[in-house]
Amino acid sequence: MPDLENRIFDEIEFLDTKYNVGIHNLLAYVKHLKGQNEEALKSLREAEDLIQEEHGDQSGMRSLVTWGNYAWLYYHMGRLAEAQTYLDKVENTCKKFANPSSYRIDCPQMDCEEGWALLKCGGKNYKRAKACFEKALEVDPENPEFSTGYAITAYRLDGLYESGKDSAEFCLNILKQTIRLNPEDAYIKALLALKLQDVGQEAEGEKYIEEALTNTSSQTYVLRYAAKFYRKKGSLDKALQLFKKALKATPSSAFVHHQIGLCYRGQVIQMKKAANWQPRGQDRKNVERIARLAISHLEFALKEKPTLEIGYVHLADMYTAVGNHRKAEDSYQKVLGMKVLDELDKEKLQKIHFYYGQFQEFQRKSEVRAIIHYLKAVKTEKASFAREKSISSLEKLALKKLKRNALDIETLSILGFIHKVKGEMNKALEYYEQALRLVADFENSLEYVP
């Protein structure tokens, strides 16, 4: 809830858009959930004022959601006469458009309103949001607001649940179409830049980032995404500089704190790599100093947004860097114990199991637990860097175990599975057959036991 409220406030203050009536409605709902009903009414009045400013000629149609929210809120406050007043407004507008239902109307504006609300309320709602914007665009395909909502949803879905060349290409086309309809929208340009970077067109993406940064529109959001672009590019100092500017405007942003934590984590990795993964003396002190900076930002991000699953993995990694294995274990257990773990996108799930496997193998010295989590990552079938690393780690560990005991049936079976996953069927069969022969020999030996 605190994270949602912070993101709503950030959007109201820093996102320059003509489409922010819905965010005031959503803020009213959050205020109601916190027991602040008078504040909720104030947010609805702000939404109503914006409708009059922006949609004077269509204010009746555009006000339906806000009026419905007024009625709902007054009902829960026990002010039934005022609730009825707003129900009457809804009914009169529906009748005006000859709608068969007194309190429901099917129109693209309603679909768009629903899409924006769903988009703000977490990844599990993105597919429903996309369907809402698609429905609205079927009626009015050139509408800039519908197109903007659709583009943002497509971008988030492509990074979260959908992947592959077709999905990325579809997302790029939607973003480009939206920029055609909203040529001054720096926020959408920043998203397009990140998507171009994802598909290997980083130089073209950087042009859009530079263009967006020269625009004063939605500057705080542009700073965030430009910084993310440079973090992914490996320009960590530049990314940190931009993130710190964004942090001054939005000091409670879980997103910004998480990203700053990732920048410091990236610096830790660079320093360890330069020291051949064995930093000593001053190098070791520098690694610990930067890792502690990463920890402070990651801890803050998770305090604000406890559902940021991958953040626990990044935090655990930094605890490991400073030698605090107990806290690292606690972070892994928090994410592994989450009820939503099975609902996560496959790539995120693979990362969680791969990093925990690494932690078990190298810090806890538990080969058994490492194998369990590498296998979970590999059995999550989606091509990714984390899955490839899990296959490689699992194979190295299995071969090491086989050197110690060439008659280990379980290890032979694991190696068979690895080669099967890699498409090396002849090698897979060799290992499976060795395992089966050992099983048969063991069963035969049991027959002679008195």
Report pLDDT digits (tens) over 83-96. 999 999 999 988 88
Instruction: Give the per-residue pLDDT at 346.
Output: 87
Does any domain span residue 101? yes
Does any domain span residue 425? no
Least confident piece of the model among 47-61, 250-264, 415-429: 47-61
Report pLDDT digits (tens) over 66-89. 999 999 999 999 999 999 999 999
Instruction: Give the per-residue pLDDT at 56.
Output: 64
Is the predicted pLDDT of residue 237 greater than 90, yes or no? Answer: yes
Is the predicted pLDDT of residue 335 greater than 60, yes or no? Answer: yes
Does any domain span residue 159? no
Instruction: Give the per-residue pLDDT at 97.
Output: 79
DSSP letter for each residue of 286-351: HHHHHHHHHHHHHHHHHHH-TT-HHHHHHHHHHHHHTT-HHHHHHHHHHHHT-GGGGGS-HHHHHH
Does any domain span residue 28? yes
Instruction: Give the per-residue pLDDT at 223.
Output: 97
Instruction: Give the per-residue pLDDT at 166.
Output: 81
pTM of the predicted structure, to 2 decimals: 0.91
Instruction: Give the per-residue pLDDT at 341.
Output: 80
Does any domain span residue 84? yes
Least confident piece of the model among 19-33, 65-79, 416-430: 19-33
Is the predicted pLDDT of residue 101 greater than 80, yes or no? Answer: no
Does any domain span residue 313? no
Cα dihedral: 227, 229, 233, 235 (round 10): -10
> Distance from CA of residue 322 to its chain's centroid?
27
Report pLDDT digits (tens) over 248-286. 999 999 999 999 999 999 999 999 999 999 999 999 999
Token reading at 375: 């296998």
CA-wise closest residue to 284 among 262, 304, 268 = 268
Report pLDDT digits (tens) over 173-210. 999 999 999 999 999 999 999 999 999 999 999 999 99
CATH number at residue 4: 1.25.40.10
Structurally, the chain folds into a number of domains equal to 1
448 pLDDT band (50/70/90 cuts)?
low
Instruction: Give the per-residue pLDDT at 99.
Output: 65
Least confident piece of the model among 34-43, 148-157, 334-343: 334-343
Instruction: Give the per-residue pLDDT at 47.
Output: 94
3-state secondary structure of 27: helix
160 pLDDT band (50/70/90 cuts)?
confident
Instruction: Give the per-residue pLDDT at 105.
Output: 83
Does any domain span residue 33? yes
- Helical residues (DSSP H) of 199-253, grouped into ranges: 202-213, 219-233, 236-249
Does any domain span residue 76? yes
CA-wise closest residue to 60 among 101, 26, 89 = 89
Q: Which domain holds residue 98?
A: 1-106
Is the predicted pLDDT of residue 157 greater than 70, yes or no? Answer: yes
Instruction: Give the per-residue pLDDT at 402.
Output: 96
Is the predicted pLDDT of residue 57 greater than 90, yes or no? Answer: no
Instruction: Give the per-residue pLDDT at 17.
Output: 81
